[in-house]
Homo-oligomer: A and B are copies of this chain.
Amino acid sequence: MTAPFTADRRKPLPNGFLAQVQALVGDRLHLGESIRLQHGSSETHFDPVLPDAVVFARSTEEVAELVKLCVAAEVPIVAFGAGTSLEGNVTPVRGGISLDLSEMDAILEINAEDFDCTVQAGVRREQLNEHLRDQGLFFPIDPGANATIGGMASTRASGTNAVRYGTMREAVLSLRVVMPDGRIVRTARRARKSAAGYDLTRLIIGAEGTLGIVTEITLRLHGIPEAISAAVCPFDTLKGAVDTVVQAIQLGVPIARIEILDDMQMKACNAYSKLDYAEQTTLLFEFHGSERSVAEQVETLSALSSANGGGEFRWSNLPEERSRLWKARHMAYYAALGLRPGSIGWTTDVCVPISRLAECIGETKADLEGASMPATIVGHVGDGNFHVVFAIDPASPHEMAEVEAINHRLVARALAMDGTCTGEHGIGLGKRDALVDELGDAVDLMRTIKRALDPKNLFNPDKIFVLE
């Protein structure tokens, strides 16, 4: 598998450091190999790298004290949420402390009238939505995994709802952050907008824990829509599917979700979940709004789909039937791996201007035809963002190299279309070279900011870029 680090950069912990940490957190300091392995492993293809210790934090103040100890002893510290990131974003490549925030899972405040709430970083997406349901509110960002809100902020997560509700960039009003000097700052107030100074909130969102450790997040919420409908429609051609989406957006239809699944993915879903979808490029839709608005949206999309070579447009507003229609999407990742028992996943993502999406997916599918392993495509088509999931043999260095080459070509293709090397997974370890290809000198500015805020390079070192 990919060797993500330079082993000689790992330094032994200074004498007495662990005793100091233990004095601070007691039995929430863990040194056992299995828990360290769990915090050093990735859900995808990255080699595990064990932290020296795992600490479960209980409060922002405790995190700040721990950071001060780490800085004094020059020990790296990597914040860890649910461990669901996909580009090795939390692998502690220089060892040190893996700081697990999952026990900081309190929902601190809900302001229903203001459509906002404040939560600790370890709160999970599904937990939050269950808690909000009774108040008629929901938090729309849905990256698939039941990630922590802190992790989602740190990777600038988005997912299926982004076409209507935006990404974590738009969803976060304010953060409480422990900085590399141990100071606790709040980046903004609870107002829905502000022109007060530099946008520290957005600087920390997507910084993957390299500039600060997010401990509390104030989020924008939305009212649960009066009506929800789902629909599914197969298409003769990729272009027909993408054109349907472009036209819908041009008409200003406020679709909540539009997902594209390619023929391979539909085949995988049928096999995995014993379904009978047409094994063609397929669009899945979800519509939110008033009864009248949702009915109008369904009508418009049904007509557009039909005009663009769509097959049967199946839709429903009944919760159970909606789930059935979307089942292919929910199971997509495991269904893809199911194409090859024993495989592990390598999943990558790019995002391009929507006018180039059909071309980008088309060329990528052509490239995948020669691949040794099964690969499927799933995308958030309203944003121009799509994923390729490779089911690779974990024992084969040859396959790793092959996927690396395909991924490199995919990123180059997206950049040539003025797209980005990652729409939502982040840079982590896997896309560091791609970031330089994408932004050139701007990466130096990132390095300058990192050096200014974390001069000892202790906060999640070697992620996004290597400093020295």
Contacts and interface: CB of A to CB of B under 8 A. Distances in A.
A460 to B, nearest CB: 13
A190 B418 contact: yes
A106 interface: no
B169 A439 contact: no
Contact of A250 (B167, B199, B223, B465): B223
Given A198-B449, A199-B156, A189 B427 contact: no
Contact of A191 (B156, B195, B293, B352): B352
A132 to B, nearest CB: 14
The list of the 8 closest CB pairs from A to B, nearest first, reads A202-B202, A452-B452, A194-B420, A113-B355, A191-B351, A190-B418, A114-B353, A185-B442
Interface string A337-368: 00000000000000111110000000000000
A193 B158 contact: yes
A418 B191 contact: yes
Contacts of A116: 353
A96 interface: no
A354 B192 contact: yes
A415 interface: yes
A384 interface: yes
A266 to B, nearest CB: 25
Question: Which of A111, A353, A423 has its CB near the most chain B CB atoms (within 10 A)?
Answer: A353
A189 B250 CA distance: 21
Size band of the A side of the interface? Answer: 35 or more
Contacts of A222: 252
A207 B418 CA distance: 26
A314 interface: no
A445 interface: yes
A251 interface: yes
A144 interface: no
Interface of A: 111, 113-116, 136, 155-158, 162, 166-167, 169-170, 179, 183-200, 202-203, 205-207, 211, 222-223, 225-226, 246, 249-252, 254, 288-290, 292-293, 296, 351-355, 383-385, 414-415, 418-427, 431, 434-435, 438-446, 448-449, 451-453, 464-465
Given A198-B207, A252-B222, A252-B226, A191 B114 contact: no
A249 B192 contact: no
15 contacts: A155-B195, A158-B193, A169-B199, A183-B444, A186-B440, A189-B438, A191-B353, A192-B353, A193-B383, A196-B431, A197-B446, A198-B446, A200-B442, A202-B203, A293-B296
B199 A114 contact: no
B195 A423 contact: yes
